[in-house]
Structure 1
Amino acid sequence: MEERVNLLVVGEGGREFAIAKKLQESPHVKQVYCAPGNVGMPSVGVQPVKIAETDFAGLIKFAREHDVAWTFVGPEDCLVDGIVDDFRAAGLKAFGPTARSAQLEGSKDYALNFMNNYGVPTARHVSYRDQTAAIAGVGQFGFPVVIKENGLAGGKGVVIAPDRESAVDTIKEMFAGGQARLVIEECLTGQEYSMFVLLSNGHYRILPMAQDHKRAYDGDRGPNTGGMGAYSPLPQLTAEARQQIIDEVVKPTVNGLVAGEYHYHGILYIGLIMTAAGPKVIEYNVRLGDPETQVILPRLTTDLFELVDRALNDQPLPAVVESAQASFGVVLAAKGYPQKPIHGQPLGRLPLVEGINVDYANVAGRLNNLRGNGGRLLMVETLAPTLQKARDRVYNYLAGLDEPECFYRHDIGAKAGLTQS
């Protein structure tokens, strides 16, 4: 029997919880460590490590001392800051793009130039470094209009301004907040989807797709958040439309990465919108998404370890096999999120219910006496034979909780035709 290996996951949120849990399930894996991790991870056999995700030297030292076969990097800021480059320089394997490749998420302007260069369909757009010029040009695509911070914003640096007055206010706020550049785009309409592509230097596999819900409140109202819930599969997306996305978006993107000599080994998230004119890319992320990861990995029956291990070693990738089961998840967030989330609210011990999975994120204390630690606290997720059954199971669980200092959306999955029970 082959020797099982140790792995390290970098990050601390719900995404990293789901990644580490999935890797720990592999028969090839002895122990998954997560740095810094969170207090909920031991519930799925994952060992948190008190090393900051920004302490690259400390992470490298730990990986060496604990005979870590390879490291899976979760957060985008670490990737943009070059964690993979540092690991490689130290002779260690890390799954994720280099700092150069990570600019596809680190700079909206860089990503749009990449799409333009390699024929990837996206919205009409203009980048601005000057506030006066941005204000003068804000109406060229009509209203509503999309205004984006150029740099990393944790999924929250996007404003859809309904009219000129709000657009001008947004531009002023973004430049006043320290943005050196922002992007103004036409507002596209259609359903949005999340596609995750696992890449190995030009070879790729497509993971299960999901639909995220970015706005804070029911009916897609309120500010953009990091994501309030997700589900997979997507009954409203036909097989023909999925193939169109692959042909018109995925293939030119991958061909561009090869032509540009990016040598990409990692995940590329493609945020899509299906318009009347076909699929268009809203954004690239250079890692798995949160909360989509928490619903797509439970549907992945292919061993995640084998996928990543072969990708890192430039070996033929196994086929991706998706479960026929549906996955559905809703985020429980702290009141005030995303602007000013409260901290420290008592959560107690969440009830154990068969079939219900709790992916912990921003929590503190102990499992039997948890406290909120700001932002999105956790996700309640389940697998069921149908999306409707999965939805009902999750919302029944949430309805039984007494968490007055938290909130969640009640309409996750409505765009898939799911109904409230």
Structure 2
Amino acid sequence: MNVAVIGGGGREHALVRKFAESSKVDRIFAIPGNAGMSDVAEVIHGVTENDFEAIAGVCLENEVEWVVVGPEAPLTAGIVDYLEDEHGIRVFGPRRKEAQMESSKAFTKELMEKYHIPTAKFARFDDYEAARAYIEREGTPIVLKKDGLAAGKGVVVAMDMDEALAGLDELMGEVGTIVIEEFLEGEEFSLMVLVNGEYTHPFEMIAQDHKRAFDGDTGPNTGGMGAYAPVSHIGESHRAEAIEKIVRPVAKGMVEEGLDYFGILYLGAMVTADGVKVIEFNARFGDPEAQILLSMMEDDLGEVLEKVHRKEPFELRFKPGCMVGVMLASHGYPKAYQKDKYVEFDAVRENCYISGLCQDMDGLYMTSGGRVLLVTGYGETVDQAVETAYENVGQVKFEEGELFFRKDIAHRAL
């Protein structure tokens, strides 16, 4: 079969590499793809991920049987509705209504409240003064979330009142909707779940992401500065609890609400003193968790898609050992940063996933985004994987001060 992957980041780089291993897949189209995908996919540079008509044209012309949508923005804009309803093209990814699980924090929190799914206490506000009064009454630490897509950056974890009020100004401004949550303490983990209505297949392996920009989990929230899997210090009992108390009830709740979710549902969860609770849901693979988990997965992704579509039971197999990914980011990210800085990574290309690089006229790589390159390392133990990952980072060449990375990825497991 022919497959199209929508998106141009590291998550999509991992998807096209995984499909390239599939005995089921003949041709892969990456729309718009990125500079690192041409060895495993046909890269359609001239079509953006939000040009639904052009995407449909590529898919129809090339007899694409499956479209897999990577990023959240086209899902929220209704790419699945358009491709399926207008052209009868099969898509792995939720429709616009179902994508509200990510695109609206308020929608998701209210659904969890209705179906008694464990999550942080919350309140929703459209009025600035009411939100400010609530923050002052509740006190800190407290968590503020923008109600909408924010590329992983629309969250402020405020440890004091100054941070909380500055976060309110940043996320809400004069108009907007915000969700304010109680601060939860504990270990976070990411669980990817394949969903088709009430049918769910949670990944047998969890990952752990590092959201904060700097070492020691300090600095602003980002789209993810690194990840690793498996997370050996968070036991199988916690994954099982998440499935029993969160995954199955939320799938059942969505069906009862008239939603027909098909695709990946990403659960960001926390192990608290009161059990596992939901931090967030996303309507697509996590990035950079996808790069790690898909690298570790031994199954044929083409076959997996077909099994989920048919709602068949199966077991995902993951190779033994551990994989660690370290994100190289442009100086200044997640705020303002410069582009067009040269990066050379030929020595470790097979261990890298491109997030934000383009090529100049001579084929040399230059930065084009905030998160630039995920550099991975594999080992039999987490210590070995960390060591290999940072050895590989050391072989990436760039001008000092133009890129930065965290030096403590997987520190909680060490």
Please state which band the TM-score falls in when normalised by the shorter chain: over 0.9
Matched, 1:360 2:357: no
Q: 1:393, CA displacement in angstroms?
A: 0.5
Q: Bigger shift: 141-150 or 225-234?
A: 141-150
Other structure's SS at 2:346 match: coil
For residue 364 of structure 2, what is the amino acid of its counterpart? N
Decide which of 361, 366, 369 is 2:364's aligned counterpart: 369
Decide which of 22, 29, 34 is 1:33's aligned counterpart: 29
Give the conservation status (yes or no) of the 8 Å contact 1:205–1:320.
no
1:56-114 deviation line (CA, Å, top 9, x unaligned) = 11111110000101100011111111111111112110110111110111110001011
| Map of 2:191 onto structure 1 | 195
Cα distance between partner residues in 2 of 1:29 and 1:11: 18
Give the conservation status (yes or no) of the 8 Å contact 1:32–1:47.
yes
| Map of 2:318 onto structure 1 | 322
Structure 1 moving runs of 4+ over 6 Å: none
| Map of 2:148 onto structure 1 | 151
Give the conservation status (yes or no) of the 8 Å contact 1:335–1:342.
yes
Residues 347, 353 of structure 1: alpha-carbon distance in 2 compared, 3 angstrom cutoff: closer
| Map of 1:54 onto structure 2 | 50
Q: 1:287-302 alignment to 2 at 5 Å?
A: 287-302=284-299
Q: 1:400, CA displacement in angstroms?
A: 3.3
| Map of 1:67 onto structure 2 | 63
Cα distance between partner residues in 1 of 2:55 and 2:34: 16
Give the conservation status (yes or no) of the 8 Å contact 1:204–1:317.
no
Q: 1:173, CA displacement in angstroms?
A: 2.7
Decide which of 377, 382, 397 is 1:402's aligned counterpart: 397
Q: Bigger shift: 246-255 or 404-413?
A: 246-255
Cα distance between partner residues in 2 of 1:339 and 1:191: 26
Residues 46, 179 of structure 1: alpha-carbon distance in 2 compared, 3 angstrom cutoff: farther
Other structure's SS at 1:352 match: helix
Give the conservation status (yes or no) of the 8 Å contact 2:343–2:396.
no
Other structure's SS at 1:138 match: helix
For residue 32 of structure 1, what is the amino acid of its counterpart? I
Q: 1:246-395 alignment to 2 at 5 Å?
A: 246-312=243-309, 314-348=310-344, 350-353=345-348, 357-365=351-359, 369-395=364-390
Q: 1:155, CA displacement in angstroms?
A: 0.4
Q: Which runs of 5+ in 1 are unaligned?
A: none
1:339-368 deviation line (CA, Å, top 9, x unaligned) = 0121000113x13249x5111121111695
Other structure's SS at 2:54 match: helix
Cα distance between partner residues in 2 of 1:55 and 1:170: 33
For residue 383 of structure 1, what is the amino acid of its counterpart? Y
Q: TM-score, normalised by structure 1?
A: 0.94
For residue 94 of structure 1, what is the amino acid of its counterpart? V
Cα distance between partner residues in 1 of 2:318 and 2:254: 26
1:375-398 deviation line (CA, Å, top 9, x unaligned) = 111111133222211110110121
Other structure's SS at 2:157 match: strand
**Percent pairwise identity:** 37
Other structure's SS at 1:306 match: helix
Cα distance between partner residues in 1 of 2:354 and 2:229: 20
Cα distance between partner residues in 2 of 1:95 and 1:402: 37
Q: 1:6, CA displacement in angstroms?
A: 1.0
Q: Bigger shift: 242-251 or 48-57?
A: 242-251
Q: 1:406-417 alignment to 2 at 5 Å?
A: 406-417=403-414
Give the conservation status (yes or no) of the 8 Å contact 2:208–2:289.
yes
For residue 363 of structure 1, what is the amino acid of its counterpart? L
| Map of 2:72 onto structure 1 | 76
1:324-345 deviation line (CA, Å, top 9, x unaligned) = 1311111111111110121000
Q: 1:123, CA displacement in angstroms?
A: 0.4
Decide which of 156, 176, 181 is 2:177's aligned counterpart: 181
Q: 1:257, CA displacement in angstroms?
A: 2.1
Residues 305, 317 of structure 1: alpha-carbon distance in 2 compared, 3 angstrom cutoff: farther
Q: TM-score, normalised by structure 2?
A: 0.95
Cα distance between partner residues in 2 of 1:291 and 1:70: 23
Cα distance between partner residues in 2 of 1:179 and 1:230: 35
Cα distance between partner residues in 1 of 2:367 and 2:78: 31
1:107-153 deviation line (CA, Å, top 9, x unaligned) = 10001011011111100110100001111111343311101111110
Cα distance between partner residues in 2 of 1:83 and 1:187: 34
